[in-house]
Amino acid sequence: MAEKSTLSPTSQTSSPLPRRRPTQRVQYLEVNCTSSGKTRRFAESTDAGSAVELINMRLKTEEVGLPSALYIEAVKDGEEPIVFGPTSTLVSYGDGWKLQTVTQTDLFRTEEIRHRDVRRMPKQAFGLGVLYPERRESKPRVSKPINLLYIFKIVFAFIFIFVLGAIFTLFLDYLPELILFVK
């Protein structure tokens, strides 16, 4: 027959192995705002564009005069940063990876550190037109003087528009007769 255990309930809890707490999944992500130095918390499924808008809204109301955030990136020492686009969902990549905002001044600072020409991104990137300022041309822009060929092109364009309008008007005038002829 089976032997019964005579251990009391208190002696069973004092086992030599420590009890593990159930691991709780993180319900939020922390984004470090480089402008203000504050950490903002966002829900797991927040898209990066919304997070940037909320951070910028807080910067405008609470800390006036600080540069606005352009986008969010995940950074880790010795690794290439991972940039989140406006429709990307914020994700934590684990140990050592931190989410932080990037501002206009941060972009210039990294360009100075790298000492290399950074490829320009199109203005439509991230839905923001301020990622990279327009580079100044060394030559000043000079408008060309108006000459006879330019005036001739303008007059020709007006004449062409009026001729095209007259053709459409005649076509519409004779359209009923054309329909009767086809029947």
Q: What is the mean pLDDT of residues 75-90?
A: 88
User: What are the CA-CA distances from residue 91 to residues 42, 78, 171, 179 (Å)?
Assistant: 10, 19, 63, 66
- Partnered with residue 39 across adjacent β-strands are 32
Q: Give the residue, 1 or 38, on which the prediction is more confident.
A: 38
Q: What distance in Å separates the CA atoms of residue 183 and residue 181, rounded to the nearest whole number? A: 6
Query: pLDDT for 41-74, tens place per residue?
Result: 988 888 988 888 888 888 888 777 788 888 899 9
Q: What is the mean pLDDT of residues 152-179?
A: 95
Contacts of 109 (CB under 8 A, 6+ apart): none
- Partnered with residue 103 across adjacent β-strands are 69
Confidence of residue 180 (pLDDT cuts 50, 70, 90): very high
3-class DSSP state for residue 114?
helix
Q: What distance in Å separates the CA atoms of residue 47 and residue 55, rounded to the nearest whole number? A: 13
**pTM for this prediction:** 0.46
Q: What distance in Å separates the CA atoms of residue 43 and residue 63, rounded to the nearest whole number? A: 23
Of 3.30.1280.10, 3.10.20.90, 3.40.50.1980, 3.40.720.10, the CATH number of 26-127 is 3.10.20.90
Confidence of residue 79 (pLDDT cuts 50, 70, 90): confident
Q: Is the pLDDT of residue 161 over 50?
A: yes
Q: Sign of torsion, CA 44 47 50 56?
A: positive
pLDDT at res. 110: 57
Query: pLDDT for 96-152, tens place per residue?
Result: 899 898 887 766 665 554 544 444 444 444 444 444 445 444 556 677 788 899 999
Burial degree of 34 (CB within 10 A; 0-12, 13-18, 19+): middle
Strand pairing report for 82-84 and 39-43: unpaired
